[in-house]
Structure 1
Amino acid sequence: MAIKKTELYSSLWASCDELRGGMDASQYKDYVLTFLFMKYVSDRYKGDPYGMIVIPLGASFDDMKALKGDKEIGDKMNKIISALAEENDLKGVIDVADFNDEDKLGKGKEMIDRLSKLIGIFEGLDLSANRADGDDLLGDAYEYLMRHFATESGKSKGQFYTPSEVSRILSKVIGIDASTPQDATVYDPTCGSGSLLLKASDEAERGLSIYGQEMDNATSALARMNMILHNNATAKIWKGNTLVDPQWKEANGQLKTFDFAVANPPFSNKNWTSGLNPNEDPFDRFTWGIPPEKNGDYTFLLHIIKSLKSTGKGAVILPHGVLFRGNAEARIRENLLKQGYIKGIIGLPANLFYGTGIPACIIVIDKAQAHSRKGIFMIDASKGFIKDGNKNRLRAQDIHKVVDVFTKQLEQPRYSRMVPLSEIAANDYNLNIPRYIDASEPEDLHDLTAHLQGGIPDRDINALAPYWQVFPSMRDALFAPVRAGYSQAQIEAGKIKTTLLEYPEFKDFAQRAMTLLTQWQQQIALQELSVGDNPKALIDEISEALLAQYADTALLNNYDVYQILMDYWNDTMQDDAYLLTQDGWLAGKVLRELVAEKGEKLKETPDIVIDKAKFKADLIPPSLIIARYYKTEQKKLDQLQADLDNATQELESYLEEHSGEDGLLAEALNDKDKVTKVTITARLKVATDKEEKAALKQAKALFDAEADSKKALKEAQDQLDRAVFKHYATLSEDDIKTLIVNDKWHTTLQSRIQAEIERIIQQLANRVKELEERYAEALPTISQSVDVLSLKVAAHLKAMGLETI
């Protein structure tokens, strides 16, 4: 059976565990990625005379596998990797890590064991069959590792990787789509590990011609490996300092120009002039001004603008400071705006990037429309994220919303607007986003009159107008006028949620929303998924359909519904889809036996145990089989479990009641002050007191009853497990489709979207309850209560012989 994405990821991360301790993440990434590369190219290209990578004799992963336990394993591995590197012009790319380094890998047996274990981990991965047409499982695995390495490498060493979520925004807002030709060029002057270039290329149906440059030698090697693992072996990646010595030049010595450019340059580079005299720049990059000597942010932006064709488009990640800093940067900003090169600005959340926690923005460049540009389209996306460990992360819905709003130029309150250049000029060309978009939430104001006289302000009730438009009679059910401008609650605060959930208009709304889901499920026809289909294309298609399905549903945010699908895809559906598109639907019949390595525990939790054999159901968990075919047996099992729970509870209660210091079972306590069946039986043989013997017999009967219940439950569970185990082999393809598509995928999505619908009414209930409790008692009533209580306190004190002054 093909390997699942999550299984591949966990195996790769397990390889990292073998290296922790001897080195930090910025170092052991080189070892793990080299292993991944060697295993992949060996599985994919060994014996293929026409492959992009030539595997010479004695230089495959199989040759590494033969080294397990070898006393010279490190040195021999270096030689194998070196031979592959020499054959494929990959010197300095895949041979960066030294597998014979005793300081990092240990000496003698420690190195032998460590490297042998690493080989064993990768040996268990079959990477030859894990690329569906147009998909890229290995590329995703590389991306997974890069993200984790960046997280572990810390602030100073994590800058080689741009989060894929941000990369996706850049690649989509510059206008690359399925119709973009393969010979269109994309360029990144600070390409790091190449993730931005690959995301941009992925937007075109047949990819793009990739050009990149990276100053750090080790990181440029990562980029070369990344390109090969993403099936882009022809991508051109150069080493070197782009500012001082740009490698991509025309025959006349001027900078080569490209159709598209993407970049995440180092923030606020303080030594950008090292080796460069900007006043004598041979490439004329500083026509619009020279950036400050101690801050090179605009340097890269100017380089990219110069490197774009007259119709070129680009997107650059820069710190927010470039939008508003003064002096030299203000002059550059003004000149670029007057040239019309800047199409838009997207403000991102803080703490997204691994090298810094400061907020950043995306500057979108479009030379094609520069002459006619009358405004800058701005987006404040700073609030759209989730916490992910110690970093923030963009969700799928955040990415989609940014791209939709930007590409369609949609103006939305507190989120986006087209800002006229005249308005920007009036602000001295300051581009700080809060000057133009107020993203703050409206303040929740208290009404003093309501606090003094009681009643809920109609102003607050009117603010809930979106709800009243969908539930027109609900307002009158919740509130009744008490005087001009004020109302009173009709339902007790504690009963609001229950009342609203049962309200007919809400039930109708929920039914309509769920009908939309049913229509979508019929439209996408997941039962037609077949071998060779592209899982990434599948999720793109069905998620876009779901987004459109809920586009016009009041109250229910279609991006929230979209996120539900994307979360489930990442958790479960993508693993299922990868298996089905590689092994077919009949893979649902397969139960994979779990076997632990000698001396180690199982890495996975079994789904079903038959005798001592443990099995994993990768596609159809036993619970689905039981729910569809063994409801009666499960009901019996539930009853037996209830019987056992009752028997255990009765036993525990009896023992607690009679095993105290003076209890009838006190003599049956063991050295741990615990009554057991063994101690009860032993005490019965010597007990003479009538009452004690009766208590002991009752306790023994309760122990026997519990044991009988456990036995009955176990026998019934074993019987059901065996029936389910045998049932897998009898499943037809139609049975499997029903179990996976209907019972697993559709049912899960239905329950999650139902919960989202109920969350809407929960929000309304919370607000109504908040308003009701806020103004429940007017100030005079509270003052009167205080006076009454004060008099009571004074009376109590007087009765105690104390006088209040």
Structure 2
Amino acid sequence: MESKNRASSLESSLWSAADVLRGKMDASEYKNYLLGLIFYRFLSEKVLSTFSVWAGIDHDIEKYYAEYLDPNFLLEDMAMRDDTVEYIEESLGYLIEPDALYSSLIEKIKNHQFALDDLAQALHDLENSTIGQRSAQDFAGLFADVDLSSNKLGNSLQQRNQAISDTMLALNNIDLTAHNGDVLGDAYEYLIAQFASDSGKKAGEFYTPRQVSDIIAQIVTYQRDQGDAQIKSIYDPAVGSGSLLLNVGQHVENPSLISYHGQELNTTTFNLARMNLMLHDVSYEDMHLNNGDTLAKDWPTDEPYLFDAVVMNPPYSAQWDNSDKRLSDPRFRDYGALAPKSKADFAFLLHGFYHLEEQGTMGIVLPHGVLFRGAAEGKIRQKLLVDNRIDAIIGLPANIFHSTGIPTLIMILKKHKRTNDVLFIDASNDFEKDKNQNRLTEKNIEKIVNSYKKRQNVDKYAHVASMDEIKANDYNLNIPRYVDTFEAEPEIDLAQVKENLADIDQQIAEATTAFQALEAQLVSTGSQQED
């Protein structure tokens, strides 16, 4: 119940904030304002909570913070200000002055003293600051999509000022502490669910639903929990909002030892991933994100370029440049063929697999076509199977992603497998209907993960296929070839049916006779009355 209340409060605040901007711009744009402002509020409150610990103050924190950093108030003890600033900067890697705090800006709004320049300057100062181990690149361009001068906010400065003021007030009602540090992820998921259809830009492709992330995270970290070396590096070549990276990090024994690596083509989403990792307290030294085209130019190429876990939910059947020059690319050259120009699924897979450490595990979300399409894709699939790289195929229910209703799958790959077979799991029928989408429950997820760990045949659900069996199927991995979910119709007892029909015929005959008798009586009575 408490979780539902938190979600309801967040959704209500987001809806109110979106209501301010809806009609002024499409959903893909106002989403950027909402998420950027939520993140700035988070950074502001992080400063205040850090100061509270430093000063041992648990009330009137904004007041004391302003006093500690006001040189006019503390002329007799400037060392106190210097110590406070140093502590916050060393703890967080950034500093927000008292007047620039989100709470301070809210007070200005309430007192009708707020100007857009106040917020613009605050965001500019944060983006361009360089403190301690953090370089200017860590925050550079982070709020580029929060365009406070855009005419879409209003034609006049007063209208733009009012739009941002109303938006900030609505977002101020969100309880940032109630979401276990994942308020940005929760907000993003809600905005996609509600407004992706309005934007027409497939916003959902940048976010992997948490249920799917949970499955991948539990599987890629499983073998490491069985005594192998601990995972210390994770890579997502299509990082999106960063949710999949973070979910894997939450399933390792010591998340503080993890270094996170990811690349994203869309600049707006790249910035969102940076925000998301910072919001989850990932240190600047452990955050390695790049804004670029994963297939066009390999990244990373510097050490480390092999990772303990590779996870990915790339855009399905995307276009890419598969010119012959790609055949010499180390990522693709060992497979004798390139993914088709209009279907880059195997190109993304091979890129991720190339960056997988020898003892690592890779999990990737793909459309079902990769399992059975022929030509170049058939050659790549056969090479992966002959080399014993594909570990498991997990069929997911349809309509669980915001960007597409098609059924998808999770493919698990390893460079050094412990078995010479492939596990097939058909989880396509295990879900709970939730409004306009299907949803995997905790029990559904647990069943999938346990089936992967046990690696046993389960009637109508899982099958361990030998390489001979797969070869006999001409290396076609279509799940129904291996997991028979057909439910036979119950046998019909024709003799019983015949007997039932006879009884019905007899009942009809008796009813007809009774009706005719009643009809005759009515006719007779009518004739007597006329006489």
TM-score class normalised by the smaller sequence:
0.7 to 0.9
- Residue in 1 that maps onto 2:308: 259
* TM value normalised by structure 1: 0.54
User: Structure 1 residues 53 and 26, CA, compared in 2 at 3 Å: closer, same or farther?
Assistant: farther
User: Structure 1 residues 53 and 23, CA, compared in 2 at 3 Å: closer, same or farther?
Assistant: farther
For residue 144 of structure 1, the aligned residue among 186, 193, 205 is 186
Contact 1:65 1:119 in 2 (8 A): yes
- Residue in 1 that maps onto 2:339: 291
- Residue in 2 that maps onto 1:315: 363
- Residue in 1 that maps onto 2:296: 244
Aligned length: 464
For residue 100 of structure 1, the aligned residue among 138, 149, 156 is 149
- Residue in 2 that maps onto 1:514: none
User: Structure 1 residues 53 and 389, CA, compared in 2 at 3 Å: closer, same or farther?
Assistant: farther
CA distance in 2, matches of 1:123, 1:55: 20
Q: CA deviation at 1:125?
A: 5.2
Q: CA deviation at 1:385?
A: 1.1
* TM value normalised by structure 2: 0.81
- Residue in 2 that maps onto 1:156: 201
User: Structure 1 residues 780 and 122, CA, compared in 2 at 3 Å: closer, same or farther?
Assistant: closer
CA distance in 1, matches of 2:293, 2:465: 36
CA distance in 2, matches of 1:285, 1:354: 34
- Residue in 2 that maps onto 1:21: 23
CA distance in 1, matches of 2:441, 2:236: 25
- Residue in 1 that maps onto 2:246: 198
- After superposition, what is the alpha-carbon deviation per residue over 1:437-493, rounded to whole angstroms, capped at 9, x for unaligned? 11133323332222234xxxxxxxxxxxxxxxxxxxxxxxxxxxxxxxxxxxxxxxx
Contact 1:41 1:53 in 2 (8 A): no
Please give the secondary structure, in 2, of the residue aligned with 1:377: strand
CA distance in 1, matches of 2:387, 2:330: 22
For residue 61 of structure 1, the aligned residue among 102, 121, 128 is 102
Deviates more, 1:56-65 or 1:424-433: 56-65
User: Structure 1 residues 313 and 32, CA, compared in 2 at 3 Å: closer, same or farther?
Assistant: same
- Residue in 2 that maps onto 1:227: 277
User: Structure 1 residues 338 and 8, CA, compared in 2 at 3 Å: closer, same or farther?
Assistant: same
Please give the secondary structure, in 2, of the residue aligned with 1:277: helix
Please give the secondary structure, in 2, of the residue aligned with 1:49: helix
User: Structure 1 residues 415 and 106, CA, compared in 2 at 3 Å: closer, same or farther?
Assistant: farther
- Residue in 2 that maps onto 1:359: 407
User: Structure 1 residues 305 and 123, CA, compared in 2 at 3 Å: closer, same or farther?
Assistant: closer
User: Structure 1 residues 104 and 182, CA, compared in 2 at 3 Å: closer, same or farther?
Assistant: farther
User: Structure 1 residues 62 and 231, CA, compared in 2 at 3 Å: closer, same or farther?
Assistant: same
User: Structure 1 residues 794 and 123, CA, compared in 2 at 3 Å: closer, same or farther?
Assistant: closer
Say whether residues 1:429 and 2:469 are aligned partners.
no
Say whether residues 1:74 and 2:146 are aligned partners.
no
CA distance in 2, matches of 1:23, 1:233: 35
- Residue in 1 that maps onto 2:42: 40
User: Structure 1 residues 117 and 246, CA, compared in 2 at 3 Å: closer, same or farther?
Assistant: same
- Residue in 2 that maps onto 1:391: 437
- Residue in 2 that maps onto 1:452: 498
CA distance in 2, matches of 1:106, 1:206: 51
Please give the secondary structure, in 1, of the residue aligned with 2:16: helix
For residue 216 of structure 2, the aligned residue among 147, 152, 170 is 170
Please give the secondary structure, in 1, of the residue aligned with 2:215: helix
- Residue in 2 that maps onto 1:512: none
CA distance in 2, matches of 1:427, 1:278: 30
- After superposition, what is the alpha-carbon deviation per residue over 1:634-667, rounded to whole angstroms, capped at 9, x for unaligned? xxxxxxxxxxxxxxxxxxxxxxxxxxxxxxxxxx
Q: CA deviation at 1:422?
A: 0.6
- After superposition, what is the alpha-carbon deviation per residue over 1:389-420, rounded to whole angstroms, capped at 9, x for unaligned? 22211111111111111122132110001111
Contact 1:94 1:225 in 2 (8 A): no
User: Structure 1 residues 182 and 419, CA, compared in 2 at 3 Å: closer, same or farther?
Assistant: closer
Contact 1:344 1:376 in 2 (8 A): yes
Q: CA deviation at 1:182?
A: 6.9
User: Structure 1 residues 240 and 285, CA, compared in 2 at 3 Å: closer, same or farther?
Assistant: farther
User: Structure 1 residues 123 and 373, CA, compared in 2 at 3 Å: closer, same or farther?
Assistant: closer
Contact 1:147 1:161 in 2 (8 A): yes
For residue 11 of structure 1, the aligned residue among 1, 10, 13 is 13
Say whether residues 1:118 and 2:167 are aligned partners.
yes
CA distance in 2, matches of 1:150, 1:335: 38
Residue type of the alignment partner of 1:225: M
Please give the secondary structure, in 1, of the residue aligned with 2:30: helix
Please give the secondary structure, in 2, of the residue aligned with 1:187: strand
CA distance in 1, matches of 2:300, 2:405: 32
Residue type of the alignment partner of 2:181: L
**In the TM superposition, what are the counterparts of 1:404-423 in structure 2 within 5 Å?**
404-423=450-469
- After superposition, what is the alpha-carbon deviation per residue over 1:651-708, rounded to whole angstroms, capped at 9, x for unaligned? xxxxxxxxxxxxxxxxxxxxxxxxxxxxxxxxxxxxxxxxxxxxxxxxxxxxxxxxxx
Say whether residues 1:184 and 2:236 are aligned partners.
no
Residue type of the alignment partner of 1:189: P
Contact 2:100 2:119 in 1 (8 A): no
- After superposition, what is the alpha-carbon deviation per residue over 1:2-61, rounded to whole angstroms, capped at 9, x for unaligned? 997343453344323332222232211211111111111111124423222412435432
CA distance in 2, matches of 1:315, 1:403: 13
CA distance in 1, matches of 2:478, 2:299: 34
- After superposition, what is the alpha-carbon deviation per residue over 1:710-742, rounded to whole angstroms, capped at 9, x for unaligned? xxxxxxxxxxxxxxxxxxxxxxxxxxxxxxxxx
**In the TM superposition, what are the counterparts of 1:485-634 in structure 2 within 5 Å?**
none
- After superposition, what is the alpha-carbon deviation per residue over 1:78-127, rounded to whole angstroms, capped at 9, x for unaligned? 22111111115312222321123231356454433332223323445564
Residue type of the alignment partner of 2:507: S
Say whether residues 1:779 and 2:491 are aligned partners.
no
CA distance in 1, matches of 2:93, 2:143: 13
User: Structure 1 residues 124 and 149, CA, compared in 2 at 3 Å: closer, same or farther?
Assistant: closer
CA distance in 1, matches of 2:447, 2:108: 51
Q: CA deviation at 1:223?
A: 0.3
Contact 1:269 1:296 in 2 (8 A): yes
* Aligned-pair Cα RMSD in Å: 2.7
User: Structure 1 residues 120 and 181, CA, compared in 2 at 3 Å: closer, same or farther?
Assistant: farther
User: Structure 1 residues 795 and 381, CA, compared in 2 at 3 Å: closer, same or farther?
Assistant: same
User: Structure 1 residues 125 and 292, CA, compared in 2 at 3 Å: closer, same or farther?
Assistant: closer
Contact 1:349 1:382 in 2 (8 A): yes
Contact 1:59 1:84 in 2 (8 A): no
Please give the secondary structure, in 2, of the residue aligned with 1:50: helix
Structure 2: where are the runs of 5+ without partners?
52-87, 131-135, 525-531
- Residue in 2 that maps onto 1:443: 489
Please give the secondary structure, in 1, of the residue aligned with 2:397: coil
User: Structure 1 residues 91 and 66, CA, compared in 2 at 3 Å: closer, same or farther?
Assistant: farther
Residue type of the alignment partner of 1:783: D
- Residue in 2 that maps onto 1:305: 353
CA distance in 2, matches of 1:373, 1:791: 75
Q: CA deviation at 1:794?
A: 4.2
Residue type of the alignment partner of 1:87: S
- After superposition, what is the alpha-carbon deviation per residue over 1:241-261, rounded to whole angstroms, capped at 9, x for unaligned? 01111231136xxx9111110
Q: CA deviation at 1:188?
A: 0.5
Contact 1:73 1:115 in 2 (8 A): no
User: Structure 1 residues 395 and 796, CA, compared in 2 at 3 Å: closer, same or farther?
Assistant: same
